[in-house]
């Protein structure tokens, strides 16, 4: 089941006001952070002191061995402070119910302490490398001052950013990583060029290690900054995602006076790697506007933006509105309308039969209009077997037991799993007599039904294209089948909806003269049954899906062998294939 960008959470789903215990242990308590703050202050001071000594060592060779020994001896002190802080945080989180904002702060403090300890380790590493240099002046000749200035500035911001939940300061800490990366890039290029000059390769390589450790300090500072952002907004966002969200909001008409006033109702990650969040102003802001933020690979997000705009032109109100689109490097982000309601699948699972019927009528009415408006009389080959073959590796990675070998029983040879799929490639000559604009990932949880039960929306449209409508029909049917639900009554509800949709699609095919509908639907269902097993861990259900998919392929191949390619018009597909 794909995670979708408009999965409506409850209003309380992500509230930061409290963190309610599962055992009902009582109201959450606040945490006294004064001791934590004191110990973290000592860690920051020690990290600054160690880096200051490293800075001096790069210019004053005589102090190197003494200073290096001093840094190494104080390493245990830093480790001790980190342990004290972590123990304090873990004890607070484990011993009582902690208010959500305080719990987020404690988590951020542990991340900060861990990364400060790592920064101190890098300082010791730098001192060790400086001791290896034969040329006293070499490391200092590559202008280390900007590195140390950037690190010092970031370290001085940590306490204010963390304990005052100061977003601008947190962002400045994050940006130090990019600054250090840029500085390191310049030094790296200079040292590589100098390596072409004979004379001191060992010292040059050692110096490169020194500056590499300075660059790695930037990674730790980035971890600290992102941990503080988490403490401020209550969700784990990388700096790139945060900046993309801020830019998207600035380019839209969504009125959010301050990023720290946002609340996040859950962050999801799709199978394609996109990150999705439902966002709204803090609960203190009355009637705050909810939006959906989606960030991921630029190609896929751009495809989705284009598809949303195309669908909006054809069927206004069906897709969510696009408030803004922002591209940043190889990533892109969308700010979308938040759609209230339930997924079609949820209604089919737990809704009343009347609610499911209303939703189905709304769905097929919308589809009929879209397919009629976008129909083009052109032959289309859906290539279902080719689609299956592209995903076969992922299927067998999760279910290697599917890869059965060929067997012989008497004089009858039974081909193995992969051979059956390979043989089925001849079925890819099946054609649809026309094309329509399809959804492309028409799972039942990519359909949102508004509270009135009669208005539907489609989401996750990045695979939308002109194609065979049977692709959407088969995907929808199998999305109901693959739900890991064993309750007979629930199964009956899912089958009831699926068979009603199947019957409507059959009538649509008859009206449009689509004589190969049953054969293509059988092949599409086989494809979806088999490819969907890569997301189904349940062995019983996945095996059943695999067996039915293979059964359909063999039935289609046998019918084609007996009646020829054109004879597939007479292929009959039983509804029993969807009764699990």
Residues of the chain with CATH 1.20.58.220: 34-233
Cα gap 507→548, rounded to integer Å = 24
> What's the mean pLDDT when you consider all of the chain?
86
Altogether, the residues listed in the chain come to a count of 580
Residue 23 has pLDDT above 50, yes or no: no
Give 342-394 pLDDT, tens digit per residue: 999 999 999 999 999 999 999 999 999 999 999 999 999 999 999 999 999 99
pTM of this prediction?
Answer: 0.71
Is residue 27 pLDDT above 60, yes or no? no
pLDDT 10s digits, 204-228? 999 999 999 999 999 999 999 989 9
Query: DSSP string covering 96-119, please?
Result: S-B-HHHHHHHHHHHHHHHHHHHH
CA atoms within 13 A on the CB side of 71: 31
Q: pLDDT tens digits for 417-428?
A: 999 999 999 999
Query: From CA 237, how far away is CA 274, in angstroms rounded?
Result: 12
CATH architecture of 342-578: Alpha-Beta Complex (3.90)
**What are residue 212's phi and psi, to 5 degrees?**
-65, -40
Residue 21 — very low, low, confident or very high, per pLDDT cuts 50/70/90? very low
Q: What angle do CA 377, 382, 387 make, to 5 degrees?
A: 160
- Looking at the chain, which residues constitute the CATH 3.30.200.20 domain(s)? 242-337
* pLDDT tens-place string over residues 32-76: 778 889 999 999 999 999 999 888 888 765 566 666 667 777 888
Report pLDDT for 12.
Answer: 32
- CATH 3.90.1200.10-classified regions of the chain: 342-578
Q: Which residue did the predictor score with more confidence, 330 or 149?
A: 149
Q: Is 242-337 in CATH node 3.30.200.20?
A: yes
Q: At 146, is the pLDDT very low, low, confident or very high (cuts 50, 70, 90)?
A: very high
Residue 566, C-beta contacts closer than 8 angstroms, at least 6 positions apart: none
Please name the fold of domain 34-233: Methane Monooxygenase Hydroxylase; Chain G, domain 1 (1.20.58)
Contact 284, 343 (CB under 8 A): no
pLDDT at 428: 97
Structure-model confidence comparison of residues 185 and 287, the more confident one: 185
Contacts of 500 (CB under 8 A, 6+ apart): 357, 360
Q: Which band of pLDDT confidence, cut at 50, 70 and 90, is reported for residue 466?
A: very high
CA proximity to 344, closest of 444, 442, 441: 444
Q: Kindly report the three-state secondary structure assignment for every residue of 68-95.
A: HHHHHHCHHHHHHHHHHHHHHHHHHHHH
Question: In this predicted structure, what is the pLDDT of residue 266?
Answer: 59
Percent of the chain with pLDDT over 70: 84
CA atoms within 13 A of residue 37's CA, in its CB half-sphere:
11
């Amino acid at each position: 089941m794909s995670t979708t960008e408009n999965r409506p959470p409850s209003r309380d789903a992500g509230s930061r006001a409290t963190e309610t215990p599962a055992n009902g242990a009582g109201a959450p308590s606040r945490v006294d952070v004064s001791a934590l703050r004191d110990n973290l202050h000592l860690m920051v001071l020690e990290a600054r002191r160690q880096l200051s000594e490293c800075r001096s060592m790069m210019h004053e060779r005589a102090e190197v061995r003494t200073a290096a020994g001093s840094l190494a001896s104080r390493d245990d002190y830093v480790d001790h402070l980190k342990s004290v802080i972590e123990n304090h945080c873990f004890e607070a989180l484990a011993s009582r119910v902690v208010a959500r904002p305080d719990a987020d702060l404690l988590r951020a403090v542990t991340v900060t302490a861990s990364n400060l300890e790592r920064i101190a380790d890098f300082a010791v590493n730098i001192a060790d490398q400086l001791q290896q240099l034969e040329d006293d002046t070499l490391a200092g000749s590559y202008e280390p001052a900007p590195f140390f200035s950037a690190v010092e500035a970031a370290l001085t911001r940590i306490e204010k950013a963390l304990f005052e939940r100061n977003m601008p300061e947190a962002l400045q800490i994050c940006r130090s990583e990019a600054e250090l990366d840029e500085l390191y890039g310049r030094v790296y290029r200079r040292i590589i060029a100098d390596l072409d000059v004979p004379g001191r390769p060992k010292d040059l390589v050692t110096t490169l290690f020194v500056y590499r450790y300075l660059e790695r300090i930037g990674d730790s500072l980035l971890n600290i900054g992102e941990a503080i952002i988490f403490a401020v907004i209550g969700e784990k966002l990388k700096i790139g995602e945060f900046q993309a969200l801020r830019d998207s909001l600035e380019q839209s008409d969504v009125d959010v006076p301050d990023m720290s006033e946002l609340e996040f109702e859950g962050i999801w990650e799709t199978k394609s790697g996109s990150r999705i969040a439902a966002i709204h102003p803090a609960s203190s802001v009355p009637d705050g506007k909810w939006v959906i933020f989606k960030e991921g690979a630029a190609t896929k997000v751009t495809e989705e933006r284009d598809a949303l705009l195309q669908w909006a032109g054809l069927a206004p109100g069906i897709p969510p509105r696009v408030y803004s689109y922002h591209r940043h490097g190889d990533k892109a982000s969308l700010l979308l309308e938040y759609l209230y309601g339930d997924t079609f699948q949820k209604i089919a699972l737990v809704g009343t039969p009347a609610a499911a019927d209303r939703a189905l009528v709304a769905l097929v009415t919308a589809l009929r209009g879209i397919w009629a408006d976008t129909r083009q009389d052109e032959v289309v080959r859906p290539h279902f077997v080719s689609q299956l073959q592209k995903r076969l590796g992922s299927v067998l990675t999760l279910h290697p037991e599917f890869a059965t070998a060929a067997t012989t029983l008497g004089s009858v040879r039974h081909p193995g799993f992969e051979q059956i799929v390979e043989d089925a490639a001849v079925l890819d000559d099946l054609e649809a007599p026309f094309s329509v604009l399809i959804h492309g990932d028409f799972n039942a949880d990519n359909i949102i039904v508004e509270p009135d039960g009669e208005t539907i929306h489609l989401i996750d449209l990045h695979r939308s294209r002109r194609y065979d409508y049977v692709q959407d029909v088969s995907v929808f049917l199998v999305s109901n089948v693959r739900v890991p639900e064993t309750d007979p009554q629930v199964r009956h509800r899912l089958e009831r909806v699926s068979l009603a949709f199947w019957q409507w699609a059959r009538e649509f095919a008859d009206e449009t003269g689509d004589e190969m509908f049953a054969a293509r639907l059988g092949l599409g269902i086989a494809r979806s049954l088999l490819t969907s097993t890569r997301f189904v861990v349940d062995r019983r259900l996945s095996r059943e899906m695999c067996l039915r998919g293979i059964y359909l392929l063999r039935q289609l191949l046998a019918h084609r062998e007996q009646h020829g390619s054109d004879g597939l018009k007479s292929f009959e597909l039983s509804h029993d294939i969807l009764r699990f």
